Amino acid sequence: MDDELLAAYRVTAYRVRLARGGWATIRVGEPLPAALASLAGDHRWAFITAWNPRSKPVARSTNRHAQRNLLDALHALAATRTVRPGCGAGPAGRHEAGWHEPSLFVIGPDLASLDTLAHRYEQNAYVHGQGAQPAQLRSLR
């Protein structure tokens, strides 16, 4: 993964849809927002997607199919406690008008399980943490 793409991941807004409406935004290096911290408790969490493998745009139908499979795989993990819809939104730059990708905020799975899924869906990285601790970018390539 090149430096420009890595920098884009670091400044992306990782938005999670809240159960009662609105959004909470996760940012790499910052503590988990209070609304999500109360949901996560002391558990591990991650923000992950199956969209656009290797950060290369693919057809919307392909992305949707992969995302449904990822959601099913997350629900099949015994450790999964909660899955919420999200959207990663990146700044303009590498892609002229910026970009956004539907994503999932998941509480419970360990890093090994998440790494396996991220590799299966050819993702370069995902964001993760534990409890309210600062979000970390986990680079896989």
What is the pLDDT at residue 12? 93
**Average pLDDT, stretch 95-104?**
77
What is the pLDDT at residue 22? 95
pLDDT per position as a tens digit, 5-35:
888 899 999 999 999 999 999 999 999 999 9
Q: Strands 99-107 and 44-48, how do they pair?
A: antiparallel
Q: At what angle do helices 60-76 and 111-120 cross, to 10 degrees?
A: 150
Paired residues of 6 in beta bridges = none
Per-domain boundaries in the chain: 3-139
Q: Which of 28, 24, 34 is nearest to 12 (CA)?
A: 28
pTM over 0.75: yes
Do residues 13 and 93 lie in contact, with contact meaning Cβ atoms separated by under 8 Å? no
Q: Is a pLDDT exceeding 90 seen at residue 127?
A: yes
Helix (H, G, I), strand (E, B) or coil at 119: helix
Distance CA 26, CA 41 (A): 15
Do residues 49 and 70 lie in contact, with contact meaning Cβ atoms separated by under 8 Å? yes
